[in-house]
Structure 1
Amino acid sequence: MENLLVFAVFFIGLVIIVKGGDMFVDSAIWIAEKTGIPSMIIGATIVSIATTLPELFVSTVASNQGHSDMAIGNAIGSSICNIAFIIGLCAFIKPIKINRASFSLKGFIMIVCVVVFYVFAFDGVVDFGEGIFLMVIFSIFIMMNIIELKSQNKNIQKNKKSISYNKKEIFVNIIKFVLGALFIVIGAHILVDTGIKISQMLRIPKQVVSLTLLAVGTSLPELVTAIVALIKGESNISVGNIIGANILNLTSVIGASTLVSDHGLLVNRQTLFLDTPFSFLIMILFVLSGFLKGEINRKTGALLLILYIIYLLILF
């Protein structure tokens, strides 16, 4: 009976997160339309920050409790899941059209972030100073988006003048945005908590949990947001969210986890020689495909999914 209850709660968490994702993307699209802010910027900042909250919460708590492997595993595992599974699945369902200029710049920043993390981690520990540096990179990324937004200010003003909206519409969409983000976070934590219990029931090793079940659980907001955005024809929000979330995972999540740890984050050999190199590989594949083709097509999506399956088989 207790086992059935765990699965029932897991399903409830799934319903909450799906509904939250739908509300959140609706409000994000409304913001993009009414303000004239490019959807890629909306996805890479507002949406990605909100959907990365589960990773931030889980990793900082794990780090504070002395579980460095779980903190790093969750962040790196989520970055792998975001591209190999989420982008792979979305592209396989429907080819993702992208804005090359904005995509290429943000994709390059994402690759730089994983390289910087690897350099910091190579001595076996990411210390306090390196954590501060990662947080600085995160701040620079946000500032770059603000600068990009200001450079397009004229178009934004034009869009504002051509579209009318009332106070009730503003209020409704703010409520949807806040409730959607809240539902995403609550649903994610329900899924993670029950997912861990299910893993214990099925006797899945804890080392694998942080890179798979925990990473997938905390990446569910990105998955739901990406699929809903794709269905609604807002592929730039989908891609921008994934790139932004990965940059946040590698900078703010790992950086904040380092700051709350007494002795920095300890990095094991698997992270150095399997997880991070694999994350780098799929990022290169993802960015090159988008840059060269102007889209993430079904073939690339299928390849990413196959690589993710291979990665999971190696872990198990």
Structure 2
Amino acid sequence: MIHLLLSIVAILAGCALLYVGGDMLVSASTWIAKRLGMSAIAIGATVVAIGTSTPELSVSLGAALEGHGDISVGNIVGSNVCNILLVLGLCSLFRTLQASRDVYRIDFPILIAISGLFTWMIRDAVVSRVEGIVLVAGLATYVAWNLRRAAEDEQVGEFFVGEVSEALGDEDEQHWGKPVLRAIAGVACLALGARWLVLGSLGALEPLHLSEAAIGVTIVALGTSVPEIGTSIIAARKGQADLAVGNAVGSSVFNVLGVLGLTASLRPVAAHDVDPLDGVILIAVSLAGLVLVARAGGIGRVQGAILVMAYTLYVVTAFGMPI
């Protein structure tokens, strides 16, 4: 019982550290980039967009380096499923999500294509270093394309500027000392939070004899998705549907290209309990998100409730519980 309680405390503390660490790193990095002369659009398309996936990166990289490849890849799969089903579902319970045409004509198709690439890469249960480098190259291309897109499309540019404003908040610091220290503290919190979340999840779910992949796609993925859940719900309540949906879709793209790519580039990831079926689930979930966002009425409360129930069913199935 004491072991279980300590594991639960580790999970909660790990989630808190990931949230705080990610927020500190994004705000500090945004301030530094702004002082270095980067435009708000460039910062939003690079620093902020990549920074929001730092919890997933720290957990997946840490898990892979410690030999828990299934948790590493499972975290990416589970986070993306969570982003579309749970994040968008919860957001639409507060306000109907009606995003711009670019979201379902461009962003979702990109996510579906990348999910297809992931499905192909995981066919042999290993994401090699070469495949990781290919994903990182894809990330660089995606970021560069977003920069060009933001420069040519005023609406996209406003989206990224809005993300920068959210990251900076009321920050008016004039000296480098505090932002640099905050960035260092953020990295430390991310590293410690990732370790506690993984170890706590392994300890808490040990009696259930679950596979590491099941742990990765459920508890670990939900823990690393806390920042996206909070940010998107706040955006939805403010009536910023594009920001809410954009955070969910953009984070999912970065999870595959950036998180998996960087992790595999440093160390090939073996995930024997993650198979192409998980990739098919990602594609199906992304297609469902596209259809719902593209419908005339957007994602309303009824559709949102269905998405949340679908996520609950996904978690129950991953745990191997009877339906």
Q: TM-score, normalised by structure 2?
A: 0.74
What's 2:284 paired with? 281
Residue 210 of structure 1 is aligned with which of 202, 206, 216? 216
1:268 aligns with 2:269: no
Shift of 1:73: 0.8
Cα 1:233–1:17 shift into 2, 3 Å: farther
Any residues of structure 2 matched to 1:150-229 within 5 Å, and which? 150-152=151-153, 169=172, 185=190, 189=194, 191=197, 193-200=199-206, 206-229=212-235
Q: Aligned partner of 2:221: which letter?
A: A
Find the aligned partners of 1:225 and 1:106 in 2 and give their Cα distance: 19
- The Cα offsets for residues 3-51 of structure 1, whole Å up to 9 and x where unpaired, read as 65665565566666777889999999xxxxxx9968xx94x65444222
Q: Secondary structure at the match of 1:122?
A: helix
Residue 247 of structure 2 is aligned with which of 234, 238, 241? 241
CA-based RMSD: 4.1
Between stretches 46-55 and 279-288, larger displacement belongs to 46-55
Contact 1:138/1:248, CA 8 A, preserved across alignment: yes
What's 1:253 paired with? 259
Cα 1:153–1:88 shift into 2, 3 Å: closer
Structure 1 unaligned residues grouped into runs of 5+: 29-34, 160-166
Q: Aligned partner of 1:276: which letter?
A: G
Q: Secondary structure at the match of 1:95?
A: coil
Contact 2:22/2:54, CA 8 A, preserved across alignment: no
Any residues of structure 2 matched to 1:31-180 within 5 Å, and which? 42=44, 45-152=46-153, 169=172
Contact 2:211/2:273, CA 8 A, preserved across alignment: no
Find the aligned partners of 1:73 and 1:182 in 2 and give their Cα distance: 22
Give percent identity, aligned residues only. Answer: 26
Find the aligned partners of 1:256 and 1:207 in 2 and give their Cα distance: 19
Find the aligned partners of 2:74 and 2:114 in 1 and give their Cα distance: 16
Contact 2:103/2:242, CA 8 A, preserved across alignment: no
What's 2:293 paired with? 290
Between stretches 71-80 and 121-130, larger displacement belongs to 121-130
Cα 1:208–1:139 shift into 2, 3 Å: same
Cα 1:17–1:94 shift into 2, 3 Å: farther
Find the aligned partners of 1:88 and 1:146 in 2 and give their Cα distance: 29
- The Cα offsets for residues 120-140 of structure 1, whole Å up to 9 and x where unpaired, read as 222443222222111111111
Q: Aligned partner of 2:220: which letter?
A: L
Cα 1:218–1:15 shift into 2, 3 Å: closer
Find the aligned partners of 1:183 and 1:95 in 2 and give their Cα distance: 38
What's 2:236 paired with? 230
Find the aligned partners of 1:117 and 1:55 in 2 and give their Cα distance: 16
Q: Aligned partner of 1:265: which letter?
A: V
Contact 2:63/2:69, CA 8 A, preserved across alignment: yes
Shift of 1:59: 1.3
